Amino acid sequence: MIYNVLKDVLTLIASVGLGYLTVYIRSHYTAKQAQTAESIARLAVTFAQQVANSLGLDSQGKLNAALTQAKEFAAKHGINYTDEQWKTLLEAAVNIAKKDWEDVKTETQSTVVEPVKDQSTQQ
């Protein structure tokens, strides 16, 4: 119970923080660049998570991998955010991914699957 409340509070804080950052970024960059940066952050987080086990990365290693990946990809699109701006976007993307995963786990746990009876042996 307390875990769910804390998770919701942290998600709310992250969302508010992302909202303020989004307003700041959009005032300094085009809407297309801001949207692209948010997508890049989500992709970079996914990339870091996927390579983390094979490279033996801890949390800081995953952040560094995601930051490097995001900056390299963004530079190709003319987006040059500061490390702090990227870290904020990456942290928001991680929080969104964690919330999505928790939602999937909750849905999976609440779904009860009944075994199918073999109709051929019931005659």
Return phi, psi of residue 79, to 5°. Answer: -110, 120
Look at residues 1, 112, 100 and name the one whose alpha carbon lies nearest to residue 45.
100
Domain assignments of the chain as residue spans, ordered by start: 2-98
105, exposed or middle or buried, with CB in 10 Å at 0-12, 13-18, 19+? Answer: exposed
The string of pLDDT tens digits covering residues 32-88 is 888 899 999 999 999 898 888 888 889 899 999 999 999 999 999 889 999 999 999
Measured in degrees and rounded to the nearest 5, phi and psi for residue 36 equal -65, -40
- pLDDT tens digits, 87-108: 999 999 998 888 877 777 777 6
Residue 25: pLDDT band (50, 70, 90) is low
Q: Which amino acid is at 92?
A: A
Would you say the pTM of this structure is higher than 0.75? no
